[in-house]
Structure 1
Amino acid sequence: MNRIGADVKFQDGANVLCDDPAATLGVLAELGFSGILVRTLDEAFPDLDAGRIREFAQEAAAREMFVQVGLGKVNPYMTAEQPRVRALGGGSHAAGMARMVELCAEHGWFEAWTALGGFKKYPGLFCFDRFRTDCTWEEQLDASANYLEVLAPMLRSHGVRLNIETHEEVTSHEILRLIDRIGEDVLGVCFDPANVVLRGETPAAASGRVAPFTHMTHLRDVHLVPTQQGISRFLAPLGTGAIDWSSVLDPLLAHRPGIDLCIEAVGATRAEMPLSPEDPLWRGAHPDLDEEELGVLRRWADDYPSQVVRRERPSVEELRLHRPAQAAQIEFLQTSLSNLRHELAQLQSTVNTKR
């Protein structure tokens, strides 16, 4: 039986659902969740107060909820944009990471989230770190690998694995090459099927590639909508978008039958981001691009207007609406949880029938 948790983003110890990490566990339990992914440990506990973290761990244990944590980004070209971890290390980013890893190991939180970039509110492709102009993406990947090699001995000594998210800036192929270089004992995957479409990958194919190395998830659905600029990706509650969830979950559960699954919700917006397959700059930046996978994504976008006419999908205007963040996030989580439970039950029923 797979336990299901929710990814929660904190800022100064608070989040959209609650103003305290320990109390957040109660909110999630009331919603029916069995665990939490604390997106960034230092944002939930800004001073890494050992006592407060211990109280949080004890509350999770009392509620029999699993805990996963995030440790921030590992791309040296963008870590300066988020200086908290370096400050925690007294000027050393690696020392700040070590402090957090030690706390994770102390409480038995051995699977940790990380990523290689972050979405920026810049026009066009500049919203992705992949298209920075102060360095190439290849230079960023190489610098990230070098830094991960610095962190690897410390991670091994504590038994903590960093799981790189299939975030909006990186392809599944690139993450797999990093794992091959660093070692799967200290590097794995946090699989987000809604992000891989931005890099021209289908969720099903990406799942098949990363499943052997996936130890964490950010599960949510996706709409691909044709716009004047090309294609826009919008996030949707699991089970309400274009993703065929059996094709995503099948390979994942085949490799990790008991994996703890986490849903990542959005609140006020549906996180519109561009997919630009007709842009020569975009195409040139994806040497691993599979035209068949890209063709599937194009068909999803081409089919969307007719689905809106049939009232099967929301219009682009509806998707762009801003909503009350807390209510929207709770609705997103509840819908996703219900549909994920249904998908898991269907898969289990299929397995039992085959037996």
Structure 2
Amino acid sequence: MNGRRLGVYALSLADEDLTPVEVLRLAHGAGLGAVLFPTAFSLSTGLDEAELAEVRDHGTDLGVEVVVGFPNLHPHRLDDSVPLLRAGDGDALRGFARLAAATDAFGVADVPVIIGLIEDRYARLVPWQRQLDAFVALTGVLRPILADHNLRLAVKTHEEISTYDVVRLVERCGEDLITVGFDPVNVLVNLEDPVAAAARVAPYTRHVYVDDALFAAAAGGADRLLCPVGDGLVDWPVVTGLIPPAGRTVRYWIELHRGQFQVRPFDPEWMTNHPDLSVAEYATTVRAMSASQPGHQALRVLQASQARPTSRLGAALEACERLGLREAATAPA
């Protein structure tokens, strides 16, 4: 399917730590054409050019593209980032400049990034909107560095950020700086309907993360449980249909999530932290949540599998074949 490329997030290939070369070999064995590593620091803690090139060249030999992301760019934590401080000899901004140069060498302009953690959305001392405003201010500082390397920030719909938030970031900062990494398993954490969420971000999406989840009732709300692709609440055929390449490369990554989160759809205080969510979309997601409740035995199996994300890899690969994603793994970017 022209314009789509399938790869895998490095941490989804094994439930234990592996070297980058071991990860690339596993990806090759699974017939995958690319691996997304969290950052260039994952390949060389000191951003050594020879070490980075060695991993990249090993991937080339195997026919597996090496892609890297940026670290968490939350504006209130960057000055405490040990990898950036180390790379910049005590100056985080200088460290980011070095990281951007290293990232540029991997040839993917839309660099995957997250900008917060789940607890940031519910912070009281510094409300979430003020944190987003601070991120916009940060992009003004980073813009010249990114422009020097023709890089953009592909902001991922992580657990703390909604698609509404991400679209506003694109509108405020411009598509020359911000694009989107769409992760439908994560938008569920904010009670967004994955199909409606996909439609919102479709024009800006450059990365899509493949996994699935459902909810199990729990005291005070419901727990997100990761499950094999096709068994959960994400309507993948519809989602992929909403995000056509339209002349651009859209990269699909199998990412087998590990995070455990609870939603509280009937808690007014929790809902105040989701001001954009419409009644109609809320109703769609809660209705789907109620209809997907696993039985007792299925629930036990799912709960036991949460600690073994790679048990879902086979189902994810099969689903990607059905969706026509795997066949494009070696297509030109």
Normalising to structure 1: TM-score of the pair?
Answer: 0.84
2:10 corresponds in structure 1 to: 8
Q: Please list the CA deviations of residues 300-334 of structure 1 after superposition, one character each: whole Å capped at 9, or x if unmatched.
A: 221233x526x7xx21x3333266x6xx3433222
- 3-state SS of 1:113 partner: strand
Q: Could you list the runs of 5+ residues in structure 1 that have no partner in the other structure?
A: 120-127, 349-355
Note the C-alpha offset of 1:343. 2.1
RMSD value over aligned CA atoms? Answer: 2.4
2:301 equivalent in structure 1:
318
Structure 1: distance between partners of 2:309 and 2:265? 30
Amino acid at match of 1:144: F
Amino acid in structure 2 at the alignment position of 1:319: L
- Which AA in structure 2 matches 1:276? R
Shifted more, 255-264 versus 91-100: the winner is: 255-264
**Aligned-partner SS, 1:272:** coil
Q: How far did 1:184 drift?
A: 0.8
- Report the Cα offset of residue 19 of structure 1: 2.8
Tell me which residue corresponds to 2:170: 179
The amino acid across from 1:318 in the alignment is: V
User: Structure 2 residue aligned with 1:308, among 295, 298, 301?
Assistant: 295
Letter in 1 for 2:288: W
Counterpart residue number, 1:122: none
Hey, what's the Cα distance between the residues in 1 that align with 2:292 and 2:125? 37
Alignment of 1:294 with 2:286, yes or no, is: no
Amino acid at match of 1:308: G
Between the aligned partners of 1:244 and 1:71, the Cα distance in structure 2 is 29
TM-score by length of structure 2 reads 0.89
Correspondences of 1:314-353 after superposition (within 5 Å): 314-315=298-299, 317-321=300-304, 328-344=308-324
Q: Distance in 2 between matches of 1:260 and 1:287?
A: 30
What is the distance in 1 between the residues matched to 2:287 and 2:45? Answer: 45
Contact 1:70 1:112 in 2 (8 A): yes
Instruction: Name the structure 2 match of 1:253.
Output: 244
Contact 1:216 1:262 in 2 (8 A): yes
Tell me which amino acid in the other structure corresponds to 1:147: L
Q: Is the 8 A contact 1:168 1:198 kept in 2?
A: yes
| Deviation readout 1:226-283 (Å, 9 max, x if unpaired) | 21221211222322212111121111125466422111114xxx53211122222222
Q: Are 1:193 and 2:158 matched, yes or no?
A: no
Tell me, yes or no, if the aligned pair for 2:191 and 2:286 is still in contact at 8 Å.
no
Counterpart CA distance in 2 for 1:59 and 1:258 is 23
Which secondary structure state, in structure 2, belongs to the residue aligned with residue 71 of structure 1? Answer: coil
> Identity of paired residues, percent?
27
Judged with a 3 Å threshold, the aligned counterparts in structure 2 of structure 1 residues 253 and 280 are, in CA distance, closer, same or farther, namely same
Q: Give the 3-state SS of the residue equivalent to 1:321 in structure 2.
A: helix
- CA distance, structure 2, for counterparts of residue 116 and residue 51 of structure 1: 29
Instruction: Tell me the amino acid that sits aligned with residue 76 of structure 1.
Output: P
Residues 283 and 255 (structure 1), Cα distance of their counterparts in 2 relative to 1, 3 Å cut: farther
The range that moved more, 31-40 or 336-345, is 336-345
Q: What are the superposed Cα offsets for residues 43-91 of structure 1, whole Å, 9 maximum, x if unpaired?
A: 3321112111101111222223233211111112244665322332222
CA contact (8 A) 1:212 1:255 kept: no
Match status 1:45 vs 2:7 = no
Aligned match for 1:243, one of 234, 245, 252? 234
The question of 1:275 aligning with 2:266 is answered no
| 3-state SS of 1:260 partner | strand
1: CA distance, partners of 2:288 / 2:25 = 38
Measure the CA separation in 1 of the matches of 2:81 and 2:148: 26
Q: Within 2, Cα distance between the matches of 1:256 and 1:203?
A: 23
Q: What code does the residue aligned with 2:187 have?
A: V
Conservation of the 8 A alpha-carbon contact between 2:43 and 2:52 = no
Distance 1:15 1:256, change over 3 A: farther
Which secondary structure does the structure 2 equivalent of 1:184 belong to? coil
Give the alignment of 1:21-170 within 5 angstroms: 21-79=20-78, 82-119=81-118, 128-170=119-161
Q: Matched residue of 2:274: which SS?
A: coil
Q: How many residues align?
A: 324
Instruction: Give 1:112's aligned amino acid.
Output: V
The answer to whether the Cα contact below 8 Å between 1:42 and 1:85 also exists between their aligned partners in 2 is no
Structure 2 unmatched ranges of 5 or more: 329-333
| Equivalent of 1:221 in 201, 205, 212 | 212
